[in-house]
Amino acid sequence: MRNPILRGFNPDPSICRVGEDFYIATSTFEWYPGVQISHSKDLVNWLTLPQPLNRPSQLDMRGNPDSCGIWAPALSYADGKFWLIYTDVKRLDGNFKDAHNYLVTAENIEGPWSDPVYLNSSGFDPSLFHDANGRKYLVNVVWNHLATMGNANTRGASFFGGILLQEYSVEEERLVGEITNIFAGSDLGLTEAPHLMQRNGYYYLITAEGGTGYEHAVTYARSKELRGPYELHPQKHLVHVHDNDASPLQRTGHGQYVELEDGSVYHTFLTTRPLPGMRRSQMGRETGIAKCAWGADDWLYLEEGGMVPSVEQPAPDLPEHPWPAPRERFEFADMSVLPPQLQWLRSPEPARLFDLSGGALRLFGRESIGSWFEQALVAARQTEWQCTAETEVQFAPDSYQQMAGLTAYYNRTQFHYLALTMDPATGERALTVPSCLDWPEGRLTYPLGEMVAMPQDGVVRMKLEINRADLQFFYALEDGDWQAIGLVLDASRLSDEGVRGEHSNFTGCFVGMCAQDMTGRAQAADFAYFEVNNREE
């Protein structure tokens, strides 16, 4: 096995085994539909399944800030069905989070999934534990919004106020009984992402600590009693790469273990692959895995020793089960629904954003590319440092407030964009390259300078090439040759760490198609195909 096993933006892995099948649920944040689920039969080869949160009753993220939305889903299987716990976070900055936690269930992993059961809003990273005695319990981080007030009761406190536990009643579909803070964490702090597991008379509490930056870790604790007290692992952390710049895997934390039928144990973890020589992770936070072993002391350890997982891991003794190669070219004339590799932003009303009934992907120009509410942007993950994306667009703007084209997009303040629009000086179609690397204001720059005039009708082909930290746009008319347009742009800034620092952003770079119409007339752009190629070096 080669880490990361889920490449490109796939953070906060929760793993679940059902017989011969393995499933990993990962966070999708503001990208719709919500929660990425990947399926494997050998822990080596993975297939992306349809996302489960796909209708307004389950999820509506219009207005959610960047890096909010779906945080840390927890997937489990019990009583003949799948249980999926998720958070919809409505605020990122400041003292408050406004994190609402829900439960949906399904008999089949591909759905249909139920309407949500509301659980609580006391914090985030909820996870459901199925006790051997048949009872169920929710654990989640409690968020302490008073932490920075500085009075005698809160001075020195952390926003991360510990791990809460409360029983869940299946019959009543609500949390019931005593709420207990069962774990304050280790001295690394920022304790989050709890999962409870049960083995050999112990309750094992798995948490993530150190924040999701370069001090991130997987921390273990255990107790004979569900409500504690919990004792820390002899080395505190199962996985911790901090201060090991030689490792190609960084920011490792937030995971869960799975036991195979033969008793072997593997542990997932969040990780990143920053560009060599700089702390910038364009693919965002990804999913890794490591083989583990139970020690004589009934604690789990990395089989290879230490706390730094290797890129290469021994595969389990399972029959190889490859899936068809992921699609790289999407011909929209052949589609009636978008495949799960292509997602959009926030809205549970895709019919207002795009349509596939006319032989193309028709994007209806909506709000700006900086909108938190309703923008037409359909995109795929960048999964390697070498990435190319290509499309063909037919678009007839009648205002400079209308544009459509190809973008490399991290969030509303981190993107590069090759846009077909109207030149206000001539009233004719033209290409421009609005670029934004400006948090928090989101002001545009135009590294192209003057607009490049285009014919008044006909299609325009667009391409981008990302080579590590460099991004170059290209265009072509009909079947003409590709021509570079504009400067080589900084692709490394389209990363978790690219604008706000090491801890503040949570997604990853996407490449895709978009359309805007700030006049409100919803001018449409038709995209014939989209091709994305990610290549390892």
Please state, in angstroms and rounded to a whole number, the distance separating the CA atoms of residues 268 and 237. Answer: 14
Laid out side by side, the sheet with 174-183 consists of 127-130, 136-143, 160-169, 174-183
Please state, in angstroms and rounded to a whole number, the distance separating the CA atoms of residues 249 and 309. Answer: 8
Which amino acid makes up residue 139? V
Active site members: 374
User: Which candidate, 188, 218, 189, 190, places its Cα nearest to that of 204?
Assistant: 218
Looking at residue 158, what is its pLDDT?
87
With beta carbons less than 8 A apart as the criterion, state whether 13 and 42 touch. no
Looking at residue 103, what is its pLDDT?
98
**pLDDT digit string (tens) for 177-232?**
999 999 999 999 999 999 999 999 999 999 999 999 999 999 999 999 999 999 99
Go through the domains of the chain in sequence order and give each one's CATH number: 14-302 (2.115.10.20), 329-535 (2.60.120.200)
**pLDDT digit string (tens) for 392-438?**
999 999 999 999 999 999 999 999 999 999 999 999 999 999 999 99
With beta carbons less than 8 A apart as the criterion, state whether 100 and 195 touch. no
Q: For 494-516, what is the mean pLDDT?
A: 88
**pLDDT digit string (tens) for 118-149?**
999 999 999 999 999 999 999 999 999 998 65
The alpha helices in 261-338, defined as continuous H runs, are: none
With beta carbons less than 8 A apart as the criterion, state whether 369 and 375 touch. yes
Assess whether pLDDT exceeds 80 at residue 153. Answer: no
Place of tokens 């319990």: 137
| Close Cβ partners of 60 (under 8 Å, ≥ 6 residues apart) | 347, 348
Torsion sign across C-alpha atoms 35, 37, 43, 47: negative
* 1: Cα separation from own chain's centroid: 22
Assess whether pLDDT exceeds 50 at residue 154. Answer: no
User: Which candidate, 198, 196, 515, 214, places its Cα nearest to that of 379?
Assistant: 515
Assess whether pLDDT exceeds 70 at residue 60. Answer: yes
Q: What is the pTM of this model?
A: 0.97
pLDDT band, residue 171 (cuts 50/70/90)? very high
In whole numbers, what is the pLDDT of the chain averaged over residues? 96
- DSSP conformation class of 35: -
Please state, in angstroms and rounded to a whole number, the distance separating the CA atoms of residues 372 and 232. Answer: 41
With beta carbons less than 8 A apart as the criterion, state whether 216 and 254 touch. yes
User: Which candidate, 100, 135, 105, places its Cα nearest to that of 119?
Assistant: 100
% of residues, the chain, pLDDT over 90: 92
Looking at residue 147, what is its pLDDT?
86
Assess whether pLDDT exceeds 80 at residue 152. Answer: no
**pLDDT digit string (tens) for 251-275?**
999 999 999 999 999 999 999 999 9
User: Which candidate, 243, 225, 230, places its Cα nearest to that of 299?
Assistant: 230
Which amino acid makes up residue 255? G
Q: For 311-321, what is the mean pLDDT?
A: 97
